[in-house]
Amino acid sequence: MIKKRAIALKVNGKRYQGMVEPRRTLVDFLREDLKLTGTHIGCEHGVCGACSILLNGAAVRSCLLFAIQADGMELMSVEGLAQGTQLHPIQEAFWENHGLQCGFCTPGILMTVHAFLNENPAPSDDEIRLALSGNLCRCTGYQGIVKSVRVAANKLATRT
């Protein structure tokens, strides 16, 4: 039996601690141990992007990290976007522009877009498509998602 280890990290500004086996993936730790079930698990081997979160500000696949590797780090998951019942501008844009249908891929896409718009606040459509290329959606056909990102960029630009 492999011994469990203590880890401590921050998720959405809040401190958490836990005991994990080394093989516990970060996404399982978030969902099963911290009960932060907003982050979804799709393919579980880094292809679909559903589990995308931010690790120290950068978008990563949380199925390709072990929780133990995130010891001492700061994460942001989809639960960190809205302020209470007030949706984040990116979420509003997706809501208003058919940026989701079944919603399974949406948490990963929102986190990808959050990191992307931080870096590139006024992207072209080509840049948006490239940024989304690591997140699979099987419902929308992507047109609504691309439009949502465009609208989100405008919302964020006029917010400040």
Partner 1 sequence: MKPAAFEYVAPRSLRKAIQALAQAGDEGKILAGGQSLVPMMALRLARPKLLVDINRIQKLAYIRKRNGALHIGALTRQREVERSDLVRSACPLLYEAVPFIGHTHIRNRGTIGGTLAHADPAAELPGVAVALDAALVLEGPRGERTLRAEEFYLSHYATPVEAGEILKEVRFPPWPQRSGCSFLEVSRRHGDFALAGVAVRLSLDPDGRLMDPRITLIAVGATPQRIAKAEDLLRGEMAGDRLFDEVASQVSKEIEPESDVHASAEYKRHVAGVLTRRALRLASERARTFV
Question: Does 112 help bind partner 1 (rule: CB under 8 A)?
Answer: yes
- String marking each residue 19-58 x if it binds partner 1 according to CB under 8 A: --xxx-x--x---------------xxxx-x--x--x--x
We find the least distance from the C-beta atom of residue 1 to partner 1, in angstroms, to be 8
Nearer to partner 1, 34 or 53 (CB): 53
Enclosing H/E stretch for 151: helix 143-159
61: β partners: 52
d(CA 106, CA 18): 27
Pair of tokens at residue 111: 């986190």
Other beta carbons less than 10 A from residue 111's beta carbon: 27
Q: Is 79 in the site for partner 1 (CB under 8 A)?
A: no
Q: Strands of 3-145 (E only): list them.
A: 5-11, 14-20, 52-55, 58-61, 74-76
Residue 41 CB, nearest distance to partner 1 (Å)?
Answer: 10
Region binding partner 1 by CB under 8 A among candidate stretches 81-89, 93-101, 111-119, 138-146: 111-119
**Which residues make beta-bridge pairs with 59?**
54
Among 10, 16, 64, 92, binds partner 1 (CB under 8 A): 64
Nearest CA to 29 out of 65, 74, 80, 60 is that of 65
Provide the minimum distance between the beta carbon of 15 and partner 1 in the complex, in angstroms, as a whole number: 20
CB 63 within 8 A of CB 51: yes
Residue 117 CB neighbours (<10 A): 21
Q: Kindly state whether residue 133 participates in binding partner 1, applying the rule CB under 8 A.
A: yes
* Residues engaged in binding partner 1 (CB under 8 A): 2, 5, 21-23, 25, 28, 44-47, 49, 52, 55, 58-61, 63-66, 68-69, 112, 115-116, 130-131, 133-134
